[in-house]
Amino acid sequence: MAVILDGKALAKTIRQQVAAEAAALPRRPGLAVILVGEDPASQLYVRNKEKDCQQCNIQSFEHKLPADTTEETLLTLIAQLNNDPAVDGILVQLPVPPHIHEKRILRAICPDKDADAFHPENVGEMVTGNPVVWPCTPFGVMELLRAYHIPVAGKHCVVLGRSNIVGKPMALLLLRDNGTVTVCHSGTGDLAAETRRADILVSAVGKVGLVSADMVKEGAAVIDVAMNRGPDGNFCGDVDFAAVKQKAGWITPVPGGVGPMTRAILMRNVLAASKARQRLKK
């Protein structure tokens, strides 16, 4: 029976640490969240982030815009927030409406205020150096592995999915900790053959039931990043949790695993950005 990786408990500890450090700063850190449209899932995420900010001594500046907001209007708002000294982090809730170019919006955010670490400059810093902010979901996974003393160095790590938000940065962070990494995607031939080799398996595809027990190595750490709606309407991941937990050594639940860690790392990113900016003013 697998050990359940409790992301909710670890995230609470991280929020408490952030709150204590934020309270000690001369100025409270600030996070600006921009929501364009009325997507229910996005609205829920924004409400949760506001709650996290309250718990972490971080000011929350919400900007809710209608779905027909023009790209020019959104870019103007981002420029204003880039120049606002009270704002240390800017987050544009994705997805944005189809008439808005996502890449153009993300590039408009000042790298020093890029709370999600999506800006190309911060991606480059992650690859080549030691960035101020980290991609929230992949770094949350790494923190879970560290908290439960799951070694990465020398292990075979398999990542399912190659998105810019999770798959690619996840592979880079595992490589950074000396894991041997395989990235699987829609062009992978024999997916099960690859996953059965994994000491650490991270799934970030968004497909219910993708990972079955016969695809998992005995004793592996199985990290389910996906958040899907199952046939019963409840949230679930890519992994057949009930079956795989009988075979894996460690496993994350959905919900309650990676999701809370993503939000906790966001809070830590805002704190780190604020510390860096406040040091520059001394």
C-alpha dist (Å) from residue 173 to 124, 157, 226, 261: 13, 11, 18, 16
* Residues ≥6 apart with Cβ < 8 Å to 31: 49, 53, 58, 59, 60, 61, 87, 88, 89, 90, 91, 115, 266, 270
Element (H, E) at 224: strand 221-224
Residue 68 bears catalytic tag: no
Under a CB-based contact definition with an 8 Å cutoff, are residues 90 and 113 in contact? yes
Residue 93 bears catalytic tag: yes
Question: What is the rounded distance in angstroms from the CA atom of residue 25 to the CA atom of residue 202?
Answer: 36
Of the candidates 262, 224, 258, 226, the one whose C-alpha atom is nearest the C-alpha of residue 241 is 224
Under a CB-based contact definition with an 8 Å cutoff, are residues 253 and 127 in contact? no
Catalytic-role residue among 52, 59, 88, 93: 93
The whole-angstrom distance between residue 6's C-alpha and the CA centroid of its chain comes to 16
Question: What is the rounded distance in angstroms from the CA atom of residue 215 to the CA atom of residue 133?
Answer: 34
Residue 54 bears catalytic tag: no
Catalytic-role residue among 88, 112, 114, 116: 116
- Whether residue 255 has a cis bond before it, omega within 30° of 0: yes
What's at 172, amino acid-wise? L
If one counts every other C-beta atom within 10 angstroms of the C-beta of residue 115, the result is: 25
Q: Which residues are catalytic?
A: 49, 93, 116
